[in-house]
Structure 1
Amino acid sequence: MLSKNREHQFQEKSNIVYSAQSNFGVLPETTEELNFNAPTEFCGHYSDCMKMSASAESVAEYLDNHASWFVRCALPMKVQPLGDNGYALVIGRFGSFGYELEPKIGLELLPQEQGIYRIRTIPIPGYDPMNYDVDYRASLQLFEDSVEKNGVLEHITRVEWELDLKVYIQFPKFIQRLPKSLVKSTGDKLLNQIVRQVSRRLTRKVQEDFHQNI
């Protein structure tokens, strides 16, 4: 699912390691500087559309049966099912200024309600995230169009989605020596990069999987 946030343009990498410019000479001088301060918030709103060459009914049946495709389509992210509708995902390793995180988040794909699908963050049993928190709230809605080609009526379904994402990170003290505006702008840029690359890859894989198997 490709983000429409065009403020930053990035080139996709072959693996899931994200980084921003980190050559600022701010590596910790002592172990005391690894102590963490209050969390910094990064947020973004994203939206786009994924098209499927099928009726909305067929697309809905596919989305409802996410257990049959989500783990496969989410690769190379590491995914572990959580109950009937939940998944634990390791997004990848990312960082800047010599500080890296490899976050693991729980997502629940809620059953559709009046044609709207929602995804939200859920706790991962037995896992305590250190120095970060993620608030992921997404919604998807299906819209069917009919197009006539060579006298044949074809169905096209648009999966329109929106995502509100907030990430809270407790940076070590040596990061706090940097200007807050620099840390914030670098973090926002990195968040946009991650959403853009992951959504683009997931969109492509879901479309391919759907058209190959449905």
Structure 2
Amino acid sequence: MISKKQEYQSMESFESLESTEAVLSIASPIADTETASPEKSLGTTTIFYGRYQDSMEMYASADTIAEYLNNHSSWFSRCAEPMKVEPLGENGYALVIGRFGSFGYEVEPKVGLELLPPKDRIYRIRTIPVPNYQAPGYEVDYNSSLQLIEIQQSQFSNNSVEITRVEWELDLKVYINFPRFIQRLPKALVQSTGDRLLNQIVRQVSRRLTRKVQEDFHQSLGIELPANVKKNK
């Protein structure tokens, strides 16, 4: 992100920045498929891009789930913990993802997200500015969609219930102005460590968020999650 010894020491320092402190006590739906594009540079800015998708099952009708999702002010902040969340207007939130840093370079990413009203049971989330906040050396472009698909009825807890699959996709771009000592590292190293960190953050955040939303939704209906769902968390 010389001599063989110096190159190894540089690599070790950058990986420490990524995986030691930046790893996230924020664990969360895991991406079934994910792609990270090759690094692109615009001047001193490096762009990392990932596309992710996954699904989860909810044991209720799509209409019931839609009613829950539409009332996001009652569950979003709670389910996003331990990320810090601040409301932004009627449909927006500012999230602090976690603290990252090492060797005097430290950043605490904050991103504004807007949960758009649904159209045809498709929910979209996009990036919005956070008032009075200037991101120090990075920019996030977040675009996701979530769709509700009723798939079947099943005998569950002695009751016949509907099952709805919640499918989501995420396109994520992160623009980073690295400090000079990282710009001196090999581009291939910067690309591989950046891609790995981006994928790790999405996995952890999505896994925890999926689990918490599933639990919170089913608890609101007084339904216990099936054993196979709990086992797969």
Question: TM bucket by the smaller chain?
Answer: 0.7 to 0.9
1:127-146 equivalences under 5 Å are 127-146=133-152
Q: Which segment is superposed worse, 179-188 or 95-104?
A: 95-104
Higher relative contact order (CA 8 A, sep 6+): 1
1:48–1:162 contact (8 Å) kept in structure 2: yes
2:34–2:52 contact (8 Å) kept in structure 1: no
Question: How many corresponding residue pairs?
Answer: 186
2:147–2:167 contact (8 Å) kept in structure 1: yes
Q: Which TM-score applies when normalising by structure 2?
A: 0.75
1:104 to 102, 105, 110: 110
Query: C-alpha offsets along residues 64-100 of structure 1, whole Å, 9 cap, x if unaligned?
Result: 0000000000000000000000000000123577633
Query: C-alpha offsets along residues 103-160 of structure 1, whole Å, 9 cap, x if unaligned?
Result: 1000000000121100000001111111000000000000012234389532011110
The one-letter code of the counterpart of 1:45 is: R
1:3 corresponds to: 31
Q: Which segment is superposed worse, 99-108 or 57-66?
A: 99-108
2:83 corresponds to: 77
2:12 corresponds to: none
2:179 to 167, 172, 175: 172
User: Comparing both structures, which one devotes a greater share of its residues to helix?
Assistant: 2
Write the distance in 1 (CA, Å) between the matches of 2:123 and 2:102.
34
Q: Which segment is superposed worse, 102-111 or 88-97?
A: 88-97
The one-letter code of the counterpart of 1:188 is: D
Q: CA deviation at 1:205?
A: 0.4
Q: 1:181 and 1:67, CA in 2 relative to 1: closer, same or farther beyond 3 A? A: same
Q: Secondary structure at the match of 1:108?
A: strand
Q: Which TM-score applies when normalising by structure 1?
A: 0.82
Sequence identity of aligned pairs in percent?
Answer: 68
Query: C-alpha offsets along residues 157-196 of structure 1, whole Å, 9 cap, x if unaligned?
Result: 1110000000000001111111001001100000000000
Structure 1 stretches of 4+ with a deviation exceeding 6 A read none
Write the distance in 2 (CA, Å) between the matches of 1:177 and 1:167.
20
